[in-house]
Amino acid sequence: MNEILLPVAIVAGIGLLAGLGLAVASIVMAVPKDEKAEAVLELLPGANCGACGYSGCSGYAKALAHGEAKPGLCSPGGAAVAQAVSEVLGVSGEVELQAAVVRCVGGCAAAPRTVAYEGMQTCAAAALTAGGLSGCRYGCLGFGDCARVCEYGAISLKDGLAAVDPARCKGCSLCVKACPKGLIRLTPLKEQAAVQCSSRDKGAATVKACQTGCIGCGKCVRACPRGAIRVEDFHAAVDPAQCTACGACVSACPRGCITLFTASPR
């Protein structure tokens, strides 16, 4: 009898001990779950794009729950998410929506290719080897690194030139990081004029390289009734905060590189 009972007692005893130990441990060492952060995380889109500046959605949710971050930093979520998050947290949230703009309109037709590039078909590789494929070393390379990283299909390639569809863009800034030429910038989502050229070359050099490049002539500066445009390094730039999208600069530009950025609400 004993030779059955003893092993049973030993195995059962150790099992019971281990079970009780684990139960006690799970109670004593329970990690308090941050319910607020979990609730916020549920509301966030879960794209983990990092546009908010935190390490993914869970990082942002944690910061929100601890009051270290403001609602509305989530570009992909937009106004709806900001609203919902503010309700959970009990604070008011203002959102500034942003969209990406490619600041180059010099496609194959405007800026003819001067380099026969047959290497890896990515912008990053082309930028390393040839610097640029046309005479302009600032321009879009047209291999679509930005379009590949875009999770919303907002970037299209046409004629060796990338263009962002503001209606689809969520302002997550993945394309901004992907562009080796630094051509893509985020801009507040409102109607405004945008200089779609990044060339810092002198006017004469730009004229040679590209039909639509900004030469820094300053006609737009004089045309602008609000003084929203400045020319630096042979290159005009519009301050989105002051621009009223009147269109005076667009018609004044002899190069056709200023376009009106039409924004439709998401």
Partner 1 sequence: MMVNLVSIFLAAILTENYVLNQFLGICPFLGVSKKVDTALGMSVAVTFVMVLATAVTWPLYTYLLVPNGLEYLETILFILVIAALVQFVETVLKKYIPALYNALGVYLPLITTNCAVLGVTMLVIERGQSDPSFGYMESLVNAFGAGIGFLVAMLLFAGIRERLERCDIPKSLRGLPITLVSASLVAVSFLGFQGLVDGLLG
By the criterion CB under 8 A, which residues form the site for partner 1? 6-7, 10-11, 14-15, 18-19, 21-22, 25-26, 29-31
**Closest to partner 1 by CB, 56 or 218:** 56
Distances in Å between the alpha carbon of 130 and those of 108, 114, 117, 145, 167? 16, 10, 8, 16, 33
Is the CB of 55 or the CB of 242 nearer to partner 1?
Answer: 55
Nearer to partner 1, 4 or 116 (CB): 4
Question: Looking at 52-119, which runs of residues are DSSP E strands?
Answer: 98-102
- The residue (of 11 and 115) whose beta carbon lies closer to partner 1 is 11
Of the two residues 25 and 80, which places its CB atom closer to partner 1 in the complex?
Answer: 25
Query: In degrees rounded to 5, what are phi and psi of residue 193?
Result: -90, 145
Our CB check for partner 1 shows the closer of 31 and 116 to be 31
* Nearest distance from C-beta of residue 74 to partner 1, angstroms: 23
Among candidate residues 107, 84, 99, 106, the one with its CA nearest the CA of residue 164: 99
Distance between the two ends of the chain, CA-based, in angstroms?
Answer: 78
Minimal distance, residue 65 CB to partner 1, in Å: 16
**Distance, CA of 234 to CA of 157 (rounded, Å):** 27
Closest CA to 218 of 200, 206, 230: 230
CB of 28 to partner 1, least distance (A): 9
Taking CA 197 as the corner, what is the angle to CA 250 and CA 204, rounded to the nearest 5 degrees?
A: 95
**CB count, 10 Å around CB of 119?**
10
Least distance from C-beta 19 to partner 1, angstroms?
8
Q: How far is the CB of 21 from partner 1 (least distance, A)?
A: 7
The phi-psi region of residue 2 (left if phi > 0; otherwise alpha if psi is between -120 and 50; otherwise beta) is alpha
Rounded to whole angstroms, how far apart are CA atoms 42 and 65?
12
Residues 244, 246, 248, 253, CA torsion sign: positive
Q: Which is nearer to partner 1, 58 or 244 (CB)?
A: 58
CB of 10 to partner 1, least distance (A): 7
- CB 26, min distance to partner 1, A: 6
